[in-house]
Structure 1
């Protein structure tokens, strides 16, 4: 084995490359045989007796011969500074573990941290309008400023703008690719690729050398929603691939938000239809934070979120000075404390988690 990789990694990768062995079958095998090496060392009869397998899949496992290819993959992983995160590893995204078909390995360039469990996906059309661009950047920037990690699919259009908005805010972003991490697609995003690897990470379930084929992207979409606690669709036509991600989010019990658009715009048909079906209409970053506040508080408490300070800074003191025990609207707090809405959202969340203020209906806040 090469430096930085264990023998077990070799067999984990092999298991993802066996014909007809998807994540559910792979996890069934690992549960039965305890290690991927034991899977490949078992007899065809032992494999066939495992739940979800049978003789046909057992035969594919025994016929697997691509060991040289795995050697080359692991050498490339080291050369490109890409890590392998296994389903059993502590670094594996907790949100993703909730999925029955979560991949048994993820390829990761950059760092995935506990902070990234507080993540919102922002997705939409590749052929975006200026309206879509503006809203994608504004929402991404506002949420990232509030300490939320932004997840998207690295595609042209809304995805690219969502990643850029998070980076412009000095926040973190995760790109989930539909190819191997050695293939930058679209190619014009090469600089964005490098920036994301520095201030977040790029993830893929596909091994090096996997091209960005059309059928990869619907499968990729379940990971975008699975990593996140909510999904925002900014712009989407009636048959947009973004609606697949929205459906994945619903199936995974995630919140779905949509930006409303003109009834005359083809690229707003999908989002407007989502709202008609029950998706939450969103206009500003604070709409999402207000809706997801209980989950955000639970995650912060659970993970010991480092962004939450235990002492008051000058701006928090200004907020507390502007509040009383009678609730006042967030706009009034902005006026009194002289703090921008985006920054105020972060500070209010911090103060509420500390237990010093409480949010009431209609974006009103008061002291506790």
Structure 2
């Protein structure tokens, strides 16, 4: 693969992800595109005389040479669509970028990967639930993705850094700058345990039209997109809508019905565009995840200090079974349904068991 020609293809004005892939599918690789005669180029749907002329012009190749020098100098990875290094979840999306620029150490194919988005004008409420969410997600060993913007994005990245969770910032500009400038220090820390990702080459400024394009990458990288706090209009709702078109799960925190900064989340929930969540446990239930790290308090200590006699009895049976349905648990315990329901609810509230789809319970280990 000749990386120079793939970079050059993205430099041709008028060639986006769809046309770019058509060209590569037709010619087999990017290098052949630039040696093809104009009449053959115009046989591709979407290629007219003007675009064919732009492809045969040497300007794109010259700009690509400069870009190649930049990424080599700054140890930036160029991830080409259709190659093993390209993020697998994003590759499934019909409008995935032809080329990505990445600097960092986080695994772009890690599972789970969670995108967290929201308003730039975050309230204390939004920041508090965002911080709590990220911390509570740590047992699932996620990668946290967001857009490095003010507000909820910055809150998500900062909380991830505080909890030693890898976090990736998706940018609406090139890797030769950080916007907003106030996040430069945080971005530097993210490079050590996470990363920065963009489809835009160096020299690209953070123009308004770039951010909806950036949002599709945020949605496409993740297993689930979580909207923490958002107004009725804005980038967070665009990201949620894109995630829905990708058939990815979307979650949202409900907010005060009279607060503008919660109107977007409430709208997503009301129109069934997002699952209502109140914390990480709801995400676990929805995605059927299992914690991967051990708690700081041992099970023995937990049993001795927080569980009633009835809860300890139910706990032991669930622990021995690994997973058990409510009917089997009821049959084993020989309890009235009312007693079992209350006991299980109390155990869930104490954080010692979790309910899986189908009324199946397991211990949180």
**Structures share a fold, TM > 0.5?**
yes
Aligned residue for 1:41, secondary structure, equals: coil
Aligned residue for 2:131, secondary structure, equals: helix
Q: CA deviation at 1:50?
A: 2.1
The verdict on how the C-alpha distance between 1:333 and 1:101 changes in structure 2, with shifts beyond 3 A counting, is closer
- CA separation in 2, counterparts of 1:316 and 1:227? 36
- CA separation in 1, counterparts of 2:257 and 2:148? 28
1:222 aligns with 2:216: yes
Aligned residue for 2:95, secondary structure, equals: coil
Q: Is the 8 A contact 1:154 1:176 kept in 2?
A: yes
- CA separation in 2, counterparts of 1:208 and 1:108? 12
Runs of 4+ in 1 over 4 A off after TM superposition: 313-322, 360-363
Q: Is the 8 A contact 1:330 1:365 kept in 2?
A: no
Structure 1 segment 27-176 matched on structure 2, within 5 A: 27-113=21-107, 116-176=110-170
TM-score (norm 2): 0.82
- CA separation in 1, counterparts of 2:192 and 2:173? 20
TM-score (norm 1): 0.82
CA RMSD of aligned residues (A): 2.9
Structure 1 segment 220-299 matched on structure 2, within 5 A: 220-278=214-272, 279-293=274-288, 296=289
Larger gyration radius, structure 1 or structure 2: 2
Deviation digits for residues 224-259 of structure 1 (CA, Å, limit 9, x no counterpart): 001111111111111122111111011111111111
Q: Which runs of 5+ in 2 are unaligned?
A: 304-314, 322-328, 331-342
Q: Is the 8 A contact 1:260 1:281 kept in 2?
A: yes
The verdict on how the C-alpha distance between 1:135 and 1:314 changes in structure 2, with shifts beyond 3 A counting, is closer
Deviation digits for residues 249-289 of structure 1 (CA, Å, limit 9, x no counterpart): 11111111111111121101111111111121111101011
Q: Which runs of 5+ in 1 are unaligned?
A: 1-5, 298-306, 336-340, 349-357
1:364 equivalent in structure 2 = 361
Match of 2:347 among 329, 332, 336: 332
Q: How many residues align?
A: 331
- CA separation in 2, counterparts of 1:334 and 1:251? 34
